[in-house]
Amino acid sequence: MKKHIILGVTGSIAAYKAAELANQLTKKGYSVTVLMTRNATEFVSPLTFQTLTKRAVYTDSFEKVSDFDVEHVGLAKQADVLLIAPATANIIGKIAGGIADDILTTVTMAIQGKPVVICPAMNTAMYENPIVRGNIQKLSDLGYRFIEPRESVLACGDLGKGALAEIETIIAYIEGL
């Protein structure tokens, strides 16, 4: 039986790549539930993910659901892995600080004993910022796993490390868990 993956999508231009990631994981037989931050919905529509995964997409901690469950806890219990791709400096900082103020961060805080894989995607200057690096180190020390971004020409035109890892690299990592 294939894993149930919760895919967290944050407000990065790389969010469009998360749609292809969700599509490929679904085609490989994984059950993929997508959680989107509000900022992510500015880049890609929840309907895109719903169509690709054939599953509900969560964008709000207080959405009305047909079967009541404390949603963030229920989702966390269902997951075999939480994959955050792309992960912005903002989401990394919120998780490192224990902030749980949206569906993605509350599910992240509720995950216990299952891998959380974070795929940073941001401008090189942000990725290299000592605060962001410190947050990544803190989370790594706590057992969170990271798939390093790659060097590329970024959306802003800069050349540097910060582009989302290749979809194939992310899938290979998940399959290796």
- 84-109 pLDDT tens trace: 999 999 999 999 999 999 999 999 99
Q: Which fold does the domain 4-176 belong to in CATH?
A: Rossmann fold (3.40.50)
- Per the prediction, the chain carries an average pLDDT of 91
Choose the catalytic residue: 156, 159, 172, 177: 156
pTM of the model: 0.92
| For the chain, the helix, strand and coil percentages under 3-state DSSP, each to the nearest 5 | 40, 20, 35
Domain residue extents for the chain: 4-176
Q: Among this protein's residues, is 156 annotated catalytic?
A: yes
Cβ atoms of residues 55 and 34 within 8 Å: yes
Which of 69-73, 86-90, 133-137, 141-145 is the least confident region? 69-73
